[in-house]
């Protein structure tokens, strides 16, 4: 997950991380794995889909500013039900 209100910047960060980690273009990795890049409200909607499908526990990996992004998701936790 790359959460940033500037969605283009979030995608650039995500693709950069995926390329460095997997040594493949970010776009290629995103076709194979669930990835999110976008705004806080978009992240809530994306996570809500997992909750609606019955997920009770989620393992999230953040790109950059880990604590800040964890806090954003934690504050939105109540909106996922």
* Span 44-69, pLDDT tens digits: 999 999 999 999 898 999 998 888 88
19: how many CB neighbours lie within 10 A of its CB?
A: 15
Mean pLDDT of all residues in the chain? 91
38: how many CB neighbours lie within 10 A of its CB?
A: 20
Query: What was the pLDDT predicted at 35?
Result: 96
Q: What is the pTM of this model?
A: 0.83
Given a cut of 90, whether residue 37 has pLDDT beyond it is yes
> pLDDT band at 81, cuts 50/70/90?
low
- Percent of the chain scored above 70 by pLDDT? 99
């Amino acid at each position: 997950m790359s959460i940033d209100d500037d969605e283009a910047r979030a995608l650039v960060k995500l693709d950069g991380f995926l390329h460095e980690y997997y040594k493949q273009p970010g776009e290629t990795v995103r076709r194979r794995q669930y990835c999110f890049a976008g705004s806080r409200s978009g992240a809530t909607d994306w996570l809500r889909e997992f909750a609606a499908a019955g997920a009770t526990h989620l393992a999230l990996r953040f790109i950059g500013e880990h604590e800040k992004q964890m806090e954003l998701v934690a504050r939105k936790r109540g909106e996922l039900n």
